[in-house]
Amino acid sequence: MFDRENQYYVTKGVQEAVSYQLQYFCWQLILQQAKDNEPTMDYLQIIEFNVDTEHELLTIVHRQENPEVKQIYHLHLFEEYRSLSVNKIWAIDDGQAQTMLLPEEY
């Protein structure tokens, strides 16, 4: 699952709602987890965002459901993240390609 050799795709919804830098960061989180946990990597990766303007933080929760794995990251809230309009994205590996999409695009 989530092999560096496979093709990567991003849906139009993700392209419009999530900056390229944040998309790249999310792919890196997924690929690092795949490297560390290859035998137990789920085909569905869930990434949730929480923008906290009061504390100037972007919290990213990267998780999978089977088996349950959860990692939390806190980033400085850069200007381009303040207007983040999505709470969650999915990354799905179908064995041939890896696609990042909004849940409503599934």
Domain ranges, residue 43? 7-105
**1 within a domain of the structure (yes/no):** no
- Residue 58 belongs to a domain with what CATH number? 3.10.450.150
**71 within a domain of the structure (yes/no):** yes
Structural domain tally of the chain?
A: 1
Tell me: pLDDT of 37 over 80: no
**2 within a domain of the structure (yes/no):** no
Interstrand relation of 44-52 and 69-76 (parallel, antiparallel or unpaired): unpaired
Provide the pLDDT for residue 32.
92
Q: What is the pLDDT of residues 63-102, one digit of tens each?
A: 999 999 999 999 999 888 888 999 999 999 998 899 999 9
What residues contact 96, with CB distance under 8 A and at least 6 apart? 6, 7
**13 within a domain of the structure (yes/no):** yes
**24 within a domain of the structure (yes/no):** yes
Task: Assign 66 to helix, strand or coil.
Answer: coil
**53 within a domain of the structure (yes/no):** yes
**92 within a domain of the structure (yes/no):** yes
Give the CA distances from residue 67 to residues 10, 40, 103, in Å, rounded to whole numbers and listed in that order: 25, 7, 20
pTM above 0.85, yes or no: yes
